[in-house]
Chains A and B, each alone.
Chain A
């Protein structure tokens, strides 16, 4: 185990720079899962959006419309500056800007139905259509009452009270398990593929690269140590390093989410992350054979990590990706990771099915085996090249 020991010594020496990466990417993991939640944290009835209302009329009708929207959504106070509003809309921080022009109430009372309001939204967006629908519902109901001979005050009152009396939506629960675990746990796991790949590529690959450097490699090759033995010791080193990273992240998760990390569905996600960890360790070993230095390892980390994450739905929900992309993504391990994670969390468009979960785990395991095998084969080829 000489080589393994040397591996650990190098790892220890590089501990400070590994710690930098760990702290940074640990922070990024939490920031990402928090930011994702802020857009997802919406239990059904209050799917509330951030919207901005600019009331230039200041009348009873405009105020009641604003109150109605306030009861459904989060009204965001923003400067009435087109540039500011445009920025917030562009980055989807707010979904809708409604301007109630002066003279709105008069037109409403006169029974006018066209161009009473102005809005800006992301063209063609569902969120925009949703707010449109709500405003339409409100104004039309008021106008029906007005046409029926009610005063504005009575019409607003009737409309508001019928809103309050609305039949509550029946929220059915089919599996209690996935709901008992806070979603934040699964968002924490969701980003781990990217984090693992980057952390191992920038932290672990440079260590393996040292053992693959020409002089050291040739010295090891001409020693009595068999190539397979050397490779296995290296692989063991990689797996141990990866396990330490995994354990550190689980500790972080436990510190943040406590017992929620150990509910049945969260354990499914944990196992899933372990399998992906093996894939990342194998990939690291594989790329270390061809990687000349830290910088290239870092570029590869981002090409493979970011590329795979975007293609497989780590950063954007898979349901938003096109069919063609998903077909390609099937050939990448992160696709199966996200599939298993989303199913365990109940975030998927697919209901949780234990056989599908094990299928996703099995496929990832196959990926891990294939990648380790490829790394060993590449190392053998490299040796043959050296020999010739």
Chain B
């Protein structure tokens, strides 16, 4: 009887063309949009020459400052400033129109003016301010040394001009540091949790008070646990195949890096899907709420989980890690996306397995709950 129910449920699911279309379209359409939105996004993090206006004072020191500006203004990969020399008036109007980040004034010391309304460029403003500080401090240091230790002026000037590499950059791992791919991980996590709709349908179609099919099933002689198992397995397989289509599209069509080991990637999607279906089954089995309410609860939980794992705001996961780390250990969306993350970033798989085992435990708990809630349900009247 198991095989019979399994087979026919699967046939039924695949023959619902409309639902199949949406299940397939969902990850593919969103994946494509994410891909489009993120193309070229990481360049926003990389450094670009800062546009500034320079207002020079009419004295000798201006030439030295001008030399410094010109050397930083030279076109090339490591260009620091994109400077124009203007009058103060013109500089102010450029700043008001937000075409430059700041105005550098040459005087007894260099000073900087920025616009308070350019909150999108605070980092650039700070970099400029640091540059101004650097110039003033080092120029000031040379002046002080010239006054107090004139004999060491040569050595000090040498120290000023010397090329230094105080700070060596290292990394913790060779993995990808591109944060944007976590949006794709979370998208897969969301698709997995959306599989809960399938799980919920099982529960609803088994409840005599919610659907005619449920009423029919309640009076059939097939033991409920067998028919439920077959339904769960078929729905799970169906949802898994839909998610795989989306996953393959993102991996091979869009080239999203999910890590190198295909087996683990497939396993994560499988466990994610299992969690989704069993979650829906559990919610669907609770009490005698109507379908709309159950659907509402299920979607609310799914979206909250996805939101907290960083579907909309990428670094949400680490904020949660900071303030309530236990939630990241039980949030299925976070576990799924973290599994992909650990596959792309880490060599060792210990964290991956920890996530996977938690997903298995969560699924088992949901399934058990669902079975306990649906068993021995009797209806005196409908």
**Interfacial residues, chain A to chain B (CB-CB below 8 A):** 14, 16-17, 20-21, 23-25, 27-28, 31-32, 35-36, 38-40, 42-45, 47, 82-83, 85-93, 98, 111, 113-127, 129-130, 132-137, 139-141, 143-150, 158-159, 162-163, 166-167, 169-175, 178-179, 183, 194, 198, 202, 206, 292, 294-296, 298-299, 302-303, 306-311, 315-317, 319-325, 328, 346-351
Contact A91 B171 (CB under 8 A): no
Contact A83 B346 (CB under 8 A): yes
Chain A interface main SS type: helix
What's the least CB distance linking B238 to chain A, in Å?
A: 14
What's the least CB distance linking B90 to chain A, in Å?
A: 14
What's the least CB distance linking B376 to chain A, in Å?
A: 28
| A contact residues around B261 at 8 Å (CB) | none
| A contact residues around B40 at 8 Å (CB) | 321-325
Contact A140 B122 (CB under 8 A): no
| B contact residues around A119 at 8 Å (CB) | 167-170
Contact B96 A294 (CB under 8 A): no
Known: A90-B177, A119-B168. A351 touches B159 (CB 8 A): no
What's the least CB distance linking B330 to chain A, in Å?
A: 18
The docked-state distance in angstroms from the alpha carbon of A116 to that of B164 is 10
| A contact residues around B307 at 8 Å (CB) | 28, 31-32
| A contact residues around B160 at 8 Å (CB) | 140, 144
Bin the interface of chain B by size: 35 or more
What's the least CB distance linking B211 to chain A, in Å?
A: 13
Contact B194 A137 (CB under 8 A): no
Contact A311 B36 (CB under 8 A): yes
**Interfacial residues, chain B to chain A (CB-CB below 8 A):** 18-19, 22, 25-26, 29-30, 33-34, 36-41, 43-47, 92, 95-98, 109-127, 129-134, 136-138, 140-142, 144-145, 148-149, 151-153, 155-156, 158-160, 162-173, 177, 179, 182-183, 190, 194, 197, 292-293, 295-297, 299-300, 303-304, 307, 310-319, 321-322, 341, 345-346, 351
Contact A47 B126 (CB under 8 A): yes
What's the least CB distance linking A73 to chain B, in Å?
A: 10
Give me 18 other A-B pairs in contact (C-beta within 8 A), A126-B46, A321-B41 excluded: A40-B119, A44-B116, A44-B125, A82-B173, A116-B166, A118-B168, A121-B169, A137-B137, A140-B134, A147-B158, A159-B137, A162-B141, A166-B132, A167-B110, A171-B113, A171-B114, A299-B194, A322-B43
Contact A28 B37 (CB under 8 A): no
Whose C-beta in chain A lies nearest to the C-beta of B198?
Answer: A295
Contact B113 A169 (CB under 8 A): yes
| B contact residues around A42 at 8 Å (CB) | 122
The docked-state distance in angstroms from the alpha carbon of A349 to that of B141 is 37
10 CB < 8 A contacts A-B = A27-B304, A92-B314, A117-B168, A130-B130, A146-B159, A148-B155, A174-B95, A299-B26, A307-B29, A310-B37
The docked-state distance in angstroms from the alpha carbon of A129 to that of B48 is 11
Known: A117-B166, A119-B167. A148 touches B141 (CB 8 A): yes
Contact B127 A173 (CB under 8 A): no
Known: A170-B112, A310-B37. A136 touches B164 (CB 8 A): yes
The docked-state distance in angstroms from the alpha carbon of A347 to that of B182 is 26
Contact A351 B98 (CB under 8 A): yes
Q: Which of A16, A140, A350 contacts B293 (CB 8 A)?
A: A16
Whose C-beta in chain A lies nearest to the C-beta of B312?
Answer: A315
The docked-state distance in angstroms from the alpha carbon of A351 to that of B94 is 11
| B contact residues around A325 at 8 Å (CB) | 36-37, 39-40
Q: Which of B30, B137, B166, B318 contacts A162 (CB 8 A)?
A: B137
What's the least CB distance linking B136 to chain A, in Å?
A: 6
Contact B169 A120 (CB under 8 A): yes
The docked-state distance in angstroms from the alpha carbon of A333 to that of B142 is 57
Contact B156 A172 (CB under 8 A): no
What's the least CB distance linking B277 to chain A, in Å?
A: 14
Whose C-beta in chain B lies nearest to the C-beta of A32?
Answer: B313
Whose C-beta in chain A lies nearest to the C-beta of B121?
Answer: A349
4 nearest A-B pairs in the assembled complex, by CB-CB distance: A322-B40, A320-B44, A148-B145, A307-B33
Q: Which of A296, A298, A349 contacts B299 (CB 8 A)?
A: A298
| A contact residues around B171 at 8 Å (CB) | 120, 123
The docked-state distance in angstroms from the alpha carbon of A77 to that of B140 is 34
Contact B138 A179 (CB under 8 A): no
Contact B141 A303 (CB under 8 A): no
What's the least CB distance linking B27 to chain A, in Å?
A: 10
| B contact residues around A135 at 8 Å (CB) | 166-167
What's the least CB distance linking A9 to chain B, in Å?
A: 15
| A contact residues around B38 at 8 Å (CB) | 310
Contact B152 A90 (CB under 8 A): no
| B contact residues around A145 at 8 Å (CB) | 141, 145, 156
What's the least CB distance linking B328 to chain A, in Å?
A: 10
Contact A172 B127 (CB under 8 A): no
| B contact residues around A202 at 8 Å (CB) | 296, 299
Q: Which of B133, B292, B310 contacts A14 (CB 8 A)?
A: B292
Q: Which of B37, B114, B152, B310 contacts A147 (CB 8 A)?
A: B152
Q: Which of B120, B194, B310, B318 contacts A319 (CB 8 A)?
A: B120
Known: A126-B46, A310-B34, A311-B33. A167 touches B190 (CB 8 A): no
